[in-house]
Structure 1
């Protein structure tokens, strides 16, 4: 299973929709990102670590909220999201396919040296949009398949007569 590490605040500051939400509610932007990533992870069959910096919060201990597809992590006091991600990538080694989402250039280089792939926040935004479009198409096609339409149950001749009646 592919593992995806996302620098939460980096993504929130980069994505236009989340940046707008952040202006009036940081927690709202975090919740929206978590919802988006749960959909993305379930559709793409991957595990996501959504990591937020909490290193400036005095006395903060590492907090992890886990779900089937996502782990939301607030780093401990004195630890940045970048440091947490680097530590996790080192621990996982090259056993799994690992992707790190951040626009921090130095972090991208460090992660790449440790065997993980990297993607900028903006590239990931476009990847998420593509996945959401695929989900819409799939649900739309499933919806169309499951419908029972009258036209599927009657002959062509009767269908033409009904159409003529409708138009007159």
Structure 2
């Protein structure tokens, strides 16, 4: 299973729809990002770690929350940036399993690449997530249209003939 590490605030600040939500509420922007990436991760069968900086929050401790089998949300501890957490984690696993890091920070991209991970900018990732959303939407629409029944499909033939007679007589 491919592991993707996402610099959460970097993505929120790069995606215009999340940036607008952030203007009103960081929590709402985080929730929207988590929801979008949950669908993405499930569809692609990837494990996604969404890492948010809490390094400026006094006395904060590292907090990991498993949202589903495919999504883990991490808030870093006081004094630790999302970049530092991702670098440390990728350093441990980067050459053992398939890892991709999503950030638009070019220095961060270079560091994780040296440690065995692939990298993707937040904008590239946006287009990939949008593509998956369109595939999911298309699948849902196809299933819905396949399950649509007409009156003729659900009613007995004799009743249908009687209804037709009534319709023609008016």
Q: Under a length normalisation based on structure 1, what TM-score does the superposition of the two structures give?
A: 0.88
The separation in 2 between residues aligned to 1:46 and 1:150, in whole angstroms, is 42
Measured on the aligned residues, the alpha-carbon RMSD in Å equals 1.9
The unaligned stretches of length 5 or more in structure 2 are: 155-163
Deviation at 1:109, TM superposition (A): 0.4
The separation in 2 between residues aligned to 1:105 and 1:120, in whole angstroms, is 9
Which runs of structure 2 are paired with 1:12-161 in the superposition (5 Å)? 12-67=12-67, 68-150=69-151
The separation in 2 between residues aligned to 1:106 and 1:57, in whole angstroms, is 24
Deviation at 1:147, TM superposition (A): 2.3
The separation in 1 between residues aligned to 2:12 and 2:47, in whole angstroms, is 19
Q: How many residues align?
A: 158
Match of 1:9 in 2: 9
The unaligned stretches of length 5 or more in structure 1 are: 154-161
Secondary structure of 2:59's aligned partner: coil
The separation in 2 between residues aligned to 1:93 and 1:11, in whole angstroms, is 21
Query: Between Structure 1 and Structure 2, whose CA radius of gyration is higher?
Result: 2
